[in-house]
Structure 1
């Protein structure tokens, strides 16, 4: 009994170390959306602010390239290997971003950031789900908690760096150093490693998909990975520009603080509520709240509504919808957790790449209001998809039993 308790304590400490990766990821996935960083990098690359949004889209491209095989690698070779690849790739991303001389180099570096994201998603999330089982919803929500904590502190930290005349490159190098330390810890922690049978070939993504039965409802659930990502990525990367150019905000960076605060509140409340309410219900309610808020921001166009909108979007769009969708599909396809995580993250990455690329072009030609309108349309589609999933949830449960 004492031995078992010691092992459990080691596993719980392992979970904390794994989640530290998501703290740094919180910085990595939102740093290019900060107006001060956009202006600094645009000057560094002798380019425009809108080009930085297109560089952020390359994060999604990197995820798209690697997610088809990062999931099966995780299922076959273990969560540790995937996590370490993610750590190494993210360290290169931060160093590369700090020293990139132009947009072309930055684009390649951002692709590596996406590679890091995909390997962390398919390494860390399944590992934490396995350790904290059966609380899969809580396990995925905690990843968002660490992301949000970092996003809350990011604008405050950048403000301190600016006040003390410290370059933003120094901050990025510090993130890379932190990742090296976390990587060393990951090599030593106890994890529920996947056993590799001698001579057995690891099944690929397409092979796993071929032997898995998907219903229309489960496909709609995966599509929510696309729409919910678009909602918060468009806000995260473009709302500060809207606040500055349309709403007349002097310090749009404060929007990030309210956004992160909303996300943290959502994570705390939702983590409690998922024990009483089915996770799938939030997939409809939260996007509906986001939709109403986006419409209000576009119509009212004041600094106050931008602040309120940041908190509400942080709560309803970035407060765990993607994580809850991931937890739901993991429960529906328990035999291929790594692979199914890859599938929904591919949908998320496709959204990140295509939507932010489009936003960069639309913003340059039609302005930030057009980008906000695009966000409203995509969020509305997500609401309709979630409505279908909720109305026919029994079909999803039936598919889970067959799988």
Structure 2
């Protein structure tokens, strides 16, 4: 941030403003790109997302002022929306029998990137190298990935892939008897998209501060809480994938994980000491940031199988709104960090209630569909 602030003749607060532009970019196109990916296919949006990200990475290191950087920041948000609209639906269509695992694996790579990038930045700083090499690294990966995507042939269409002997069309026909209610079920999932994002966003942003100022931990130990949180999220990815392979349905995870999140945050709030915070940091990372949001999207695709791109756009738009509004809410509460964690406790509790309602609706709809198929 300091290097970019110098390049743009601004302060780190100015850089933070540019960072916020990513959220605006996401909100501008996420719903539209999701619907368009249902119409034109997934591959064009994956390639378009990679190309738009390339423009961002190149543009951001060439920008000389905050205004130009802000425009490229919006492009980064748009690129992210394009990728979300293409990747999640494509993976669900490629692996219809392992949709949850496929989507959770995306979370594993996100976590890996979040782990590697700070190490890379630290290395550049320690070696007194140009900060832009981290951007160049991303540019190189995107170019290689883009070439692979362009030359890899077509993605599975919403019809058939002979190689896997599976038909997405046939898979969706099995769900044709499932008559989900857009107002009831759609609202529940949109609320869950907002709440699941809010739950882990809150704790990830304030965990270190809470450990230091409320639990009385030293600076090093407080910062280590984020590492335990990240380890927990990665552990959940592998745990969920292992159970999913044993035919445990995605719906089975939702209410369990949100309940664990609620209880972990409650214990952290009630007993704020270093040992409890360390254990609960891992537990919250496991239950709230280990792919439960991706599992929610997977379950939503079972309710609305005909428009995976559209529901991805709607679901992640709710998450983007959370990323924009939660900092505004917590900014008012920043004078008392304990209240922020208490607020997260209530957010997680609301998430648990919503997932219970989703689970009830799931069993009602699919049991009814099963009876109709047996007639």
| Match status 1:225 vs 2:196 | no
RMSD: 3.3
Q: Which moves more between the two structures, 267-276 or 117-126?
A: 267-276
User: What SS class does the counterpart of residue 187 from structure 1 fall into?
Assistant: helix
Matches within 5 A, 1:201-240: 213-214=181-182, 216-240=184-208
- Structure 2: runs of 5+ lacking an equivalent: 159-178
SS, match of residue 133 in structure 1:
coil
Q: Say whether the 8 Å CA contact 2:108–2:237 is kept in structure 1.
A: yes
- Summarize the Cα distance change of 1:267–1:174 in structure 2 as closer, same or farther, 3 Å threshold: same
Larger radius of gyration: 2
**TM-score of the aligned structures, taking structure 2 as reference length:** 0.79
Structure 1 gaps, min length 5: 1-36, 196-210
TM-score (norm 1): 0.74
2:343 to 361, 374, 397: 374
**Which of residues 50, 61, 73 in structure 1 aligns to 2:24?**
61
Give the counterpart of 2:327 among 356, 361, 364. Answer: 356
Count of aligned residue pairs for this structure pair = 348
Aligned partners of 1:110 and 1:310: how far apart in 2? 31
Cα distance in 1, alignment partners of residues 277 and 243 from structure 2: 27
Deviation (angstroms), 1:61: 2.7
Could you say which residue in structure 1 is the equivalent of 2:241?
A: 271
Query: Structure 1, residues 255-291: CA drift from partner, whole Å, max 9, x if none?
Result: 4432222112101111122344332232111122222
User: CA 1:317–1:109 in 2, change beyond 3 Å: closer, same or farther?
Assistant: farther
The offset of 1:323, in angstroms, is 0.8
Shift of the alpha carbon at 1:253?
4.9
Of 284, 289, 296 in structure 1, the residue corresponding to residue 260 of structure 2 is 289
The residue number in structure 2 matching 1:200 is none
Change (3 A) 1:132 1:391: closer
Matched, 1:185 2:154: no
Structure 1 392/127 Cα, relative in aligned 2: closer, same or farther at 3 Å? closer
CA distance in 2, matches of 1:285, 1:80: 34
Superposition deviation, residue 140 in structure 1 = 0.9
Residue in 2 that maps onto 1:338 = 309
Cα deviation 1:29-81 (Å, max 9, x = unaligned): xxxxxxxx5x76677775466x7666555433322211121112212222111
Distance 1:319 1:229 in 2: 12
The offset of 1:390, in angstroms, is 2.2
Give the counterpart of 1:145 among 108, 120, 140: 108
Residue of structure 1 in register with 2:169 after alignment: none
